[in-house]
Structure 1
Amino acid sequence: MINCGAAPPVKVMNPKQFTNDIRRWFVQFMALSVLASVPLLALQTENSGGPLRADQACFDVQHYELILVVVPESKKIGASLTMTARMEEASDKISLDLDSRFTVRRVTVGGVEVEASHKDGRIEIPLPEGQGRASQELQVNVLYMGTPREAPNAPWVGGFTWAKTPSGADWISTTCQMEGADLWWPCKDHPSDKPESFDLKVTIPAGLVCASNGRLMGVQEGGNGARTFHWHTSMPIANYSISLNIAPYETISRTVEGIDGDMIPVTFWHLPENAEKAKVLFEEIVDHLKHLESVCGPYPFHQDKYGVVETPHLGMEHQTIIGYGNNYSGDPEFDYDWLHHHEMSHEWWSNLLTCVDWADFWIHEGLGTYMQALYLESRFGPEAYRKKMAIDWRRIGFHGAIAPAAPRGTQSMYFAGGVSDAPGGDIYFKGSWVVHNLRWLIGDEDFFKLLREWARPGKGGKPRFVSTNELIQVASRQAGQDLGWYFDVVLKEKQLPRLVADVKDGVLHLEWTSAGKQTYNMPVEVLVGDKRVRVECPGGEGMLPVAQQEWQLDPDRWLIR
């Protein structure tokens, strides 16, 4: 119960009663003729991640169950969120994050109603005696309702998108990567904690379909044609990846045999108006899946599905239900759908392999972006690969280090205007170039083995958290050499390494310098006449006799410089 005056008597509640109460509370809420003004988004809600507070570090989320009623006509929702968690450390309180524009009607811990406080985007929850012991399982329920924020610029600035299909039907989606899921449901909004599983039960009006994460467990018919869709995610999942997609969808489905023999259910939820275009794209979806399995290893979520859903925003890497809003327009430079391939790549580089802190955001976006270059190389050849890398080079803004040392929230990483050294889009394009240059450094054989080992160490397939430093250690082990010198310069410095070349007495002298004065040992390919020579640069320096011949540095443009 929210702190709004004298505390009522504490009473023990049956958790199942919350499900029954949602509609009653929600009807009362909807009947109010005057509603409180909508507050501005709290800083806590606008940002995701950053340093973890003690009242959230003390518990580990095991499971969420979100029971939700969506009313498109009024753009309101009413919901019950039940979190099951394990106490990692003893504490007399915990907190969950939730946008302050929602009204919290009741909070219980272990079925006991407690006096919680909801302000500035955070629900502070006192734990009843005996509930906060270390190693204890904890069950918290929050009953809430309200008008979620409409996304100002989905998917980059998130919230609910309340759109209409070409036929005038409701078309609804959620996006919240930058802000976190506390834009629309209570959670521990930090990338370092995923629930082991998730259940979503959403009730929507007649004629609409809900496509979401995981497997569809069933659809229950209700009054006035309303239906409740139950989706179950059986694998760990990031809070921002939970996604609502509601429209009068039609589907195309096929079961595809994966690279390791697992059968993968593949489904595309599309608008009825786009049925013919969807059939064409579906074949490309299957081709992308086969390519990414060949590069990254088996698809990690075959026990749930691979899903794609047409959205009223550009797209998002929601686990097992990729948002697709590229309007079937492909790519202006190449004959493929770049948006779908990029978002699918995140099933490995984000959903399977997840950065433990947003300071490591480049792992998701840099590796995800590089996958498109590899696809183009496999389909169209090396010239397409080099063209894609040249396009991405021109997109680098050099705003800041793409893997800063200290913890970061999303707002200080993604949006370059947030802080002076926010890398912004560089996590995509410079991140991709870091991987590209690494390929040159260690060679194709070790490089492609490394991609598999990064994604699925020891051929394992369970989602896990990683840091930049962990990936550096794995790369060094695969290459048989310490690669810290490389990653320290290209990931952790804003400025590019500089290569100086000079010919004296018929000898080409090469010297690398870095802004941080670190030794940079990058070998350089030199085209001398019609011969290519790899010049090693131990200590940052190398030499090559060229006599009077013409020479060209880095003819295939592998190097960050």
Structure 2
Amino acid sequence: MAPLSAAAAEPSSPRSIDVLHYEARLRPDIPARRLDGRVRIDFRVLAPARTLQFDAGELAVTRVRLGEAALPFERTGHVLRVHVPESLRPGSRGQLAVDYAGTPRYGLEFHPERDEVYTIFSTSQWLVCVDAPDERATLTLSLELPAGLRSAGNGRLVSVRAGEGGRSLHRWRLVEPMPSYVYGFAAARYAAASERVDGIGLHYLAIERSPDELRRVFGDTARMLRFFGMRAGRRYRGDYTQALVASTVGQELAGLSLLSEEYGRRVLDDPTAQALIAHEAAHQWWGNRVTCRDWGHFWLNEGMATFMAAAWIEQRFGPQAYRAQVERWHERLQALRSKGADHALVYAQWTSPSGDDRAVVYQKGAYVLHLLREQLGEEAFWRGVRTYSRAHDGRSVTTADFRAAMETTSGQDLGPFFREWVEGPPLPAAARR
């Protein structure tokens, strides 16, 4: 579920600009597995700079302009450095236009046999951007697609109109600032089902499933969103789309989740197999709205979403189903310890994480939240989660922010708990369950 992109592995560092808005126009060529794009980047200057730095994956950048002036640029690995003619003044604003193309090896999945294209994790492999979790911006995304394809994207579908060469232009607009790693889209000849519940437009897409089957796969989505909104103290806003694509382990995006066709079949066979649907829905709060400041605190995204998915399972299917989830987390943690792979939840550096590292932030992170729930009790724990989620809505957070919220609402000193389970060295294998 939602492995971290390699392009965004380093901790955040002070930046000279704050990106305000991306306006991107993309033309994916599905049979050729190729992408042509242009992005206009609106930014505000934070500190004097002669060079602006962006993440560009393996994209081939062909031109950069500031206004009408062409600017020199250079590439170092996945980093694009743009040289501006004079130092930009703090507080001033500017707009860069970047033209690029590429045949992404990852980050953008092409399936010509299904006439399908969709993003997968590494935003900078299809969009020149600042690919860091603490950088938020709004987005306008225009997709030039073959006629007859249906698209899913971030925010609201503004229009679909005829384009050049028998293609259609799909325009999406995200008006709430979000980190770029949750930007994305999917397009294919999808079947669709929609409904409106609690003022939320819910949209379900797949190639291999009928509208009736889609309603069965995602039939609990509205109740999930209502449950998570109650736990966060913030109702879900906007529309929410869930698409079954050719192959993915599951990915959360802003207002959109992508899951695999195989997983959809599994839910049809076993309607209780909802953990992944719930995990990605939970990210709409914990990950998208409340985001780890850097990847060293990644457990605040993934441990929380894993735990909240189990909390939904408990709500929907009862305490025994929840305990089964907890037991699996504990077994995974014991396996990590038996091989000496346990680790503090807070990483000094999150670079090229292993499967064991991911198990730490996902399963151990969720298990630690379960233990904290047991220590604080139901009322204090959930009050703390609401306080944390509301206080940091639309912001980037560290583990210290989470601890402070839980201490404030519970009235307890959680230093010993956090030193033992979150920040400190791993415990011996005989640690308590």
* Match of residue 163, structure 2, among 212, 216, 222: 222
Flag the 1:86–1:74 CA change in 2: closer, same or farther, 3 A. Answer: same
**Mind listing any 5+ residue stretches in structure 1 that lack a counterpart?**
1-44, 152-158, 258-262, 417-421, 500-558
Given that 1:307 and 1:320 are in contact with CA atoms closer than 8 Å, whether structure 2 keeps it comes out as yes
Structure 1 residue 452 corresponds to structure 2 residue 392:
no
TM-score calculated relative to the size of structure 1: 0.71
Distance in 2, matches of 1:267 and 1:106, equals 37
Structure 1 residue 160 corresponds to structure 2 residue 96:
no
Could you report, residue by residue, the CA deviation over 1:111-138 in whole angstroms, capped at 9, with x for unpaired residues? Answer: 31111112322211111226x1111112
Higher Cα radius of gyration: 1
Q: Give, as a single letter, the amino acid of the residue that structure 2 aligns with 1:490.
A: W
Distance in 1, matches of 2:186 and 2:128, equals 19
Given that 1:47 and 1:409 are in contact with CA atoms closer than 8 Å, whether structure 2 keeps it comes out as no
Could you report, residue by residue, the CA deviation over 1:126-164 in whole angstroms, capped at 9, with x for unpaired residues? Answer: 11226x111111211111112112x3xxxxxxx221225
Structure 1 residue 429 corresponds to structure 2 residue 429:
no
The alpha-carbon deviation at position 92 of structure 1 amounts to: 1.2
Which residue matches 1:191?
133
Distance in 1, matches of 2:413 and 2:217, equals 43
Given that 1:433 and 1:560 are in contact with CA atoms closer than 8 Å, whether structure 2 keeps it comes out as no
Distance in 2, matches of 1:290 and 1:52, equals 33
Flag the 1:377–1:282 CA change in 2: closer, same or farther, 3 A. Answer: closer
1:349 partner SS: coil
Structure 1 residue 104 corresponds to structure 2 residue 61:
yes
The alpha-carbon deviation at position 410 of structure 1 amounts to: 5.0
Q: Give, as a single letter, the amino acid of the residue that structure 1 aligns with 2:281.
A: M
Given that 1:497 and 1:560 are in contact with CA atoms closer than 8 Å, whether structure 2 keeps it comes out as no
Given that 2:275 and 2:313 are in contact with CA atoms closer than 8 Å, whether structure 1 keeps it comes out as no
Q: Identify the structure with bigger relative contact order (alpha carbons < 8 Å, sequence gap 6+).
A: 2
Q: Give, as a single letter, the amino acid of the residue that structure 2 aligns with 1:108.
A: R
Distance in 2, matches of 1:345 and 1:333, equals 21
The alpha-carbon deviation at position 382 of structure 1 amounts to: 2.0
Which residue matches 2:123?
181
* Match of residue 346, structure 1, among 264, 279, 283: 283
Distance in 2, matches of 1:293 and 1:348, equals 8
Distance in 2, matches of 1:84 and 1:362, equals 31
The answer to which of 209-218 and 183-192 deviates more is 183-192
1:246 partner SS: strand
Which residue matches 1:170?
115
Structure 1 residue 68 corresponds to structure 2 residue 26:
yes
Given that 2:39 and 2:97 are in contact with CA atoms closer than 8 Å, whether structure 1 keeps it comes out as yes
Instruction: Give aligned pairs, total.
Output: 421
Given that 2:108 and 2:117 are in contact with CA atoms closer than 8 Å, whether structure 1 keeps it comes out as yes
More helix by share: 2
Distance in 2, matches of 1:334 and 1:226, equals 38
Structure 1 residue 86 corresponds to structure 2 residue 86:
no
Structure 1 residue 403 corresponds to structure 2 residue 345:
yes
* Match of residue 121, structure 1, among 75, 78, 81: 78
The alpha-carbon deviation at position 334 of structure 1 amounts to: 7.7
The alpha-carbon deviation at position 330 of structure 1 amounts to: 2.8
Q: Give, as a single letter, the amino acid of the residue that structure 1 aligns with 2:194.
A: S
Which residue matches 2:207?
271
Distance in 1, matches of 2:12 and 2:229, equals 35
Residues 384-423 of structure 1 mapped to structure 2, 5 A cutoff: 384-396=321-333, 397-398=336-337, 399-404=341-346, 406=348, 408-411=349-352, 414-416=353-355, 423=357
Which residue matches 1:248?
189
Q: Give, as a single letter, the amino acid of the residue that structure 2 aligns with 1:255.
A: R
Equivalent pairs: percent with the same residue?
Answer: 26
Distance in 2, matches of 1:309 and 1:332, equals 18
1:188 partner SS: coil
TM-score calculated relative to the size of structure 2: 0.91
The alpha-carbon deviation at position 307 of structure 1 amounts to: 1.4
Distance in 2, matches of 1:129 and 1:252, equals 53
Residues 239-388 of structure 1 mapped to structure 2, 5 A cutoff: 239-257=180-198, 263-271=199-207, 273-300=209-236, 302=237, 304-312=238-246, 313-325=248-260, 326-330=263-267, 335-388=272-325
Which residue matches 2:410?
479
The alpha-carbon deviation at position 105 of structure 1 amounts to: 1.5
Given that 1:218 and 1:230 are in contact with CA atoms closer than 8 Å, whether structure 2 keeps it comes out as yes
Which residue matches 1:50?
10
Distance in 2, matches of 1:282 and 1:498, equals 39
**Mind listing any 5+ residue stretches in structure 2 that lack a counterpart?**
none
Given that 1:209 and 1:247 are in contact with CA atoms closer than 8 Å, whether structure 2 keeps it comes out as yes
Q: Give, as a single letter, the amino acid of the residue that structure 2 aligns with 1:120.
A: G
The alpha-carbon deviation at position 110 of structure 1 amounts to: 2.9
The alpha-carbon deviation at position 333 of structure 1 amounts to: 8.7
Flag the 1:383–1:334 CA change in 2: closer, same or farther, 3 A. Answer: farther
Q: Give, as a single letter, the amino acid of the residue that structure 1 aligns with 2:323.
A: R
Distance in 2, matches of 1:73 and 1:288, equals 37
Structure 1 residue 492 corresponds to structure 2 residue 423:
yes
Could you report, residue by residue, the CA deviation over 1:268-306 in whole angstroms, capped at 9, with x for unpaired residues? Answer: 122264333212123222232222223233334x1x311
The alpha-carbon deviation at position 384 of structure 1 amounts to: 2.1
More strand by share: 2
Could you report, residue by residue, the CA deviation over 1:310-351 in whole angstroms, capped at 9, with x for unpaired residues? Answer: 122231011101112112313999824221111111111100
Distance in 1, matches of 2:23 and 2:432, equals 46
Q: Give, as a single letter, the amino acid of the residue that structure 2 aligns with 1:249.
A: Y
Given that 2:293 and 2:398 are in contact with CA atoms closer than 8 Å, whether structure 1 keeps it comes out as yes
Flag the 1:67–1:294 CA change in 2: closer, same or farther, 3 A. Answer: same
Given that 1:48 and 1:409 are in contact with CA atoms closer than 8 Å, whether structure 2 keeps it comes out as no
Q: Give, as a single letter, the amino acid of the residue that structure 1 aligns with 2:289.
A: L
Given that 1:199 and 1:233 are in contact with CA atoms closer than 8 Å, whether structure 2 keeps it comes out as yes
Distance in 1, matches of 2:140 and 2:114, equals 26
Flag the 1:103–1:384 CA change in 2: closer, same or farther, 3 A. Answer: closer
Q: Give, as a single letter, the amino acid of the residue that structure 1 aligns with 2:104.
A: P
Distance in 2, matches of 1:405 and 1:485, equals 19
Distance in 2, matches of 1:237 and 1:222, equals 28
Distance in 1, matches of 2:179 and 2:330, equals 30
Q: Give, as a single letter, the amino acid of the residue that structure 2 aligns with 1:161.
A: E
